[in-house]
Structure 1
Amino acid sequence: MRMLAAPFRGLFACAVFLLSGGLCAAQEIIETFGSENARQTVLLRSTTDIAVFGPVVEAFLKSRPDIRLRFEQWGSNDLYELTRTECHDGATGADIVVSSAVHQMVRLVNEACAAPYRSRLTGQLPDALSWRDELWGITREPAVIVYNRDLVPPGDVPRTRFDLLDLLRPFDTPYAGRIATYDIEESGLGYLFAFADAQEASTFGALQESFGRSRTVSTCCSAEIIQGVAEGRYLMAYNVLGSYAQDFQQRDERIGIVLPSDYTLVLSRALMIPKQAKNKLPAKEFLDFLLSPEGTFELQKALLISPLLETEEGTEGEGLSPTALRPIDLSPSLMVALDAMTRDAFLRRWRTTFPAP
């Protein structure tokens, strides 16, 4: 059974938390899965949309009638700050944390906020998807360019970042003010993708300058950006998560998707079991389920293990060279993105491209 909590409940909890001196950050959505008669209630906090990840949770609970799961959907920055505060205060919070802002998750593990676990399934993960037996990559999702099929001529569809630069170069480009990307101050994922671009590509400086000159829009949230492209408010969007784009595309044929052939970033959302979790056993069972053949199948159905990365006939990823894929590894190197001086300098440069209104 699925129950959607009333919106005011999250706001009330936030108010109580603030009055008690804690960090106040409201959940976006709360939903409960499983039987009301279950003996255990497990708390999952995630940046993944409940509409996307919910069916995976339901599949896990099918054979576990004794478990009820409360799913809180959070923005990445708020989830990181709350998890970090609870860790440092020794407070009990979530049993499972899943975030797309994997650099933040690596830092939480580095600050001794995670419980260790090793099983046959976690041991089979490659090193790039497992760190210190405390953090695990559970999805495979590309960062893509999304465009409106009805409004963007086929010859204008950019297949590389160089193509995108060419579109933005003319003084009278029709794409001025009509391209969107994440606001990297609001979105931990957006910051991660932009920082990875800066490390990966010689085109980043030129692309950032072109974004500024062509009045590219920085805004929040995958769903909002993709909806804006479908409706024609934007003609294209850069560095959008391919899982959300493909889910939207299945319902709206106006959405086109490109995996840039110069390189395509690939994200694996990271799962952590906080060291203060009350229900570590079901949290470990959930992790093993996600890594099992059954869980992998459910993640594939949810598009969180993206068919866009396949090269079989009929997929959008056809023809993309494996050497063009740039997985974002779970490793200490990600913490460079959170170094205070590095982050401040990076955001200052970003603000020159996207000044506050």
Structure 2
Amino acid sequence: MAPVFASADDYDFPAVLGPGRTLVIGSTTDIEIIRPVIEAFQSAYPTVAVRYREETTRVLYAQAEEACRQGAVRDDVVLSSAMDLQVKLVNDGCAVTLSRPGLNALPDYAQWRSQLFGLTYEPSVIVYNRTLISPREAPRDHFDLLDLLRDPERFRGRIGTYDIESSGLGYLFATLDDQRSSTWGRLIEGMGRNDVRLYCCTSEILDGVAEGRLLLGYNVLGSYAFARARENPDLAVVVPSDYALVLSRAAFVPADAANKADAAAFLEFTQTQAGRRILNEQALLFSPLDGREHMFREAGIEDAESRSIRPVALRPALMAGLDTMKRRLFLKQWRDSLGIGAD
């Protein structure tokens, strides 16, 4: 059943056999990406209506933190790509413990405390416009990208990435790149020389590349990039061969949720055979259980075994970058390298 639009960023999916119970999901996932998952869930649970609230990572975190602190009822599920912020909320006691076979089966890196669950398997990728960059010169890894950045006349103002000061996902990817690669410092310096364009959201970067305003986008969320590439053959997606960070969209059920039973059922449904089929083949969010090969197939990669894929674990270590002083110093390094102003 088609959703009823409740407000600019809220979407109501009436129960198939209504009226019934309502499940409220607060999420950062674009509605068009998550829609098939919700509709498949409602086919399995036809008496459950779903209200889907779409927010940015930082707004959703602020709302969930306030609801937790005040003991208020807001969302039944909190689902976000900002894994570090989700870990902090769970660490602060904002989630209930769940014991469901489908969730317990998740890989160790994709669950924490039986309270926080990584439901997806999404690589950070490079995207480029095939009509403006030939396959021969397209970057295949981070070192190739560094080489391209040595041509500022061509790329000045035509590379896009996240504004890590406003994007929780962008900040997470940046801090992990800094920790886990030898190229991060040189990359942001090269981007600074090329007058990189900064964006809050994945869709804005993809729009820029697809329309030719940008030649290339860096550290873009792969699920959205693959979906857009299916629609636009000019958009090419590269999973870097030297290493690729893999994000798991993290979800929990708040301690004060009004509908904990259906919330737990929704999380578990995503990892059932029916749920995984939607994640792997339609939504292109991929499942941590069996999405790896589907992701490689979508990317057109044949030498999968030689690739360095680095899933990000849901662990307290993710909170290190949220420390106020560390964040301030990291953002100063970012601004200085890009030449975008003082702290």
> Does the alignment reach a TM-score above 0.5?
yes
1:186-225 equivalent positions in 2, closer than 5 A: 186-225=166-205
Unaligned runs of 5+ in 2: none
Whether 1:284 and 2:269 are equivalent positions in the alignment is no
Compute the displacement of 1:62 (Å): 1.1
1:96, 1:233 → 2: CA distance? 37
Aligned twin of 2:4 = 3
Compute the displacement of 1:246 (Å): 0.8
Equivalent position amino acid for 2:334 in 1 = W
1:242, 1:50 → 2: CA distance? 16
Contact 1:180 1:225 in 2 (8 A): yes
Between 1:256-265 and 1:319-328, the stretch displaced more is: 319-328
Contact 2:237 2:299 in 1 (8 A): no
Which of 260, 283, 297 matches 2:240? 260
Q: Kindly tell me: are residues 314 and 118 of structure 1, through their superposed partners in 2, closer, same or farther at Cα, counting changes over 3 Å?
A: closer
Secondary structure of 1:287's aligned partner: helix
2:292, 2:126 → 1: CA distance? 12
Compute the displacement of 1:154 (Å): 2.4
Which of 298, 316, 324 matches 1:332? 316
Q: Kindly tell me: are residues 82 and 234 of structure 1, through their superposed partners in 2, closer, same or farther at Cα, counting changes over 3 Å?
A: same
Secondary structure of 2:231's aligned partner: coil
Equivalent position amino acid for 2:150 in 1 = R
1:92-117, Cα deviation, whole Å (9 max, x unpaired)? 11000100001000000000000110
Aligned twin of 1:35 = 15
Whether 1:144 and 2:128 are equivalent positions in the alignment is no
Secondary structure of 2:270's aligned partner: helix
Compute the displacement of 1:321 (Å): 4.0
Q: Kindly tell me: are residues 276 and 33 of structure 1, through their superposed partners in 2, closer, same or farther at Cα, counting changes over 3 Å?
A: same
Unaligned runs of 5+ in 1: 8-28
Which of 48, 51, 55 matches 2:32? 51
Aligned twin of 2:87 = 106
Aligned twin of 1:20 = none
Whether 1:121 and 2:102 are equivalent positions in the alignment is yes
Secondary structure of 1:114's aligned partner: coil
2:102, 2:241 → 1: CA distance? 32
Secondary structure of 2:51's aligned partner: strand
Q: Identity of paired residues, percent?
A: 43
Superposed CA RMSD: 1.8
Equivalent position amino acid for 1:66 in 2 = T
Aligned twin of 1:355 = 340
Equivalent position amino acid for 1:279 in 2 = N
Aligned twin of 1:19 = none
Secondary structure of 2:236's aligned partner: strand
Between 1:329-338 and 1:58-67, the stretch displaced more is: 58-67
Compute the displacement of 1:327 (Å): 0.7
Compute the displacement of 1:34 (Å): 2.5
Number of equivalent positions = 335
Contact 1:31 1:70 in 2 (8 A): yes
Aligned twin of 2:52 = 71
Whether 1:62 and 2:62 are equivalent positions in the alignment is no
Contact 1:308 1:315 in 2 (8 A): no
Whether 1:161 and 2:142 are equivalent positions in the alignment is yes
Equivalent position amino acid for 1:286 in 2 = F
Compute the displacement of 1:351 (Å): 1.7
Secondary structure of 2:79's aligned partner: strand
Compute the displacement of 1:55 (Å): 1.1
Aligned twin of 1:14 = none
Secondary structure of 1:98's aligned partner: strand
Compute the displacement of 1:313 (Å): 6.5
1:168, 1:275 → 2: CA distance? 48
Q: Kindly tell me: are residues 108 and 293 of structure 1, through their superposed partners in 2, closer, same or farther at Cα, counting changes over 3 Å?
A: same
Q: Kindly tell me: are residues 260 and 60 of structure 1, through their superposed partners in 2, closer, same or farther at Cα, counting changes over 3 Å?
A: same
Q: Kindly tell me: are residues 67 and 226 of structure 1, through their superposed partners in 2, closer, same or farther at Cα, counting changes over 3 Å?
A: same
Q: Give the alignment's TM-score, normalised by structure 2.
A: 0.93
Q: Kindly tell me: are residues 313 and 328 of structure 1, through their superposed partners in 2, closer, same or farther at Cα, counting changes over 3 Å?
A: closer
Compute the displacement of 1:311 (Å): 7.8
1:230, 1:308 → 2: CA distance? 26
Secondary structure of 1:5's aligned partner: strand
2:11, 2:339 → 1: CA distance? 35
1:127, 1:200 → 2: CA distance? 20
1:334, 1:189 → 2: CA distance? 12
Which of 80, 89, 93 matches 2:61? 80
